[in-house]
Structure 1
Amino acid sequence: MIHYISGGQRSGKSDYAARQALEHSNNPVYLATSRIWDEDHRARIQLHRNSRDTRWENIEEEKNISRLQLENRTVVLDCVTLWLTNFFMDNHYNVEAAMKEARTEFDLFIQQDFHLIIISNEIGMGVHASTDSGRKFADLQGWMNQYIARKADKATLMVSGLPLTLK
């Protein structure tokens, strides 16, 4: 089961995903994909860690999520945007190379039998990026979101804290 949850920044995606996970499991996995870019980001990550209680198993993996053995678990992948950023940066802003690697890794990951809840951002719904790399990433994110949504069993769009069922 794959449940894809997308929406804008601060739309309520993470809280909704956490509630969904706890409805399915007493000990879900929180799979964080962010790199620590600076001290402000480190503090933000620590706040996220502190927000989860002892029911959660926390795993941090920047890119190679398919190496994790999560059979029969409920997993919240948070989030595609930060995970995809790692591929984009490592491929020196090459959209095609980043997309190829991310799709391959994602396809390997979802071969497991688990309840997967995926969080992603709809960055293309916001302000148009002012830089070439920003526009490239917005395209990459949009294409990856479409790829994941097609494979998902269920899709939800979060708007102002409200879940809207898409699929």
Structure 2
Amino acid sequence: MPSFDIVSRADMQLVDNAVNITRKEIANRFDFKDVPVELDLRKKDYMLVIATESEMKLNQIVDVLLSRSMRQGLDIKIYDLSKAPEPSGKLVRKEIPIRNGLSQEEAKKLVKYIKELGLKVQASVMDDMVRVSGKKIDDLQTVIQHCKKAPFDFALQFVNMKS
């Protein structure tokens, strides 16, 4: 029976590339001359820490990071930007968690959405991914197209297509 998996994973090498390009761009910008900027990617914790002198500068760094991430082919939904910046001495710090894997609530939303499509497919939650299987590959491809258009607040990748 044909099947595929829906996952939400961040390619940390691409994230690292985007962070390095952001560092270089910020270092070359005139408005950041003599401004302390800390851009720290903690790969093991899936965390990005940005620190600078003001919240305005912090937002500019985040904008550059998001645009560089899109150019690397990353979905910007992998960054959880909901956390507010916090003062840390003379600097303003922001911790940005990088989403990796579907949470149980997100997986349940996804399964419910797939079932509401009314196609002859089965969707089941397996750890941090959702496996979708059905008799027709066309139905599976329809599910992929609908999921790409759906307004989820998390990034989706479609892997392991087996026929």
TM-score (norm 2): 0.29
Please identify which structure carries the higher helix content: 1
Report which of the two has the higher share of strand: 2
- What is the TM-score normalised by the length of structure 1? 0.29
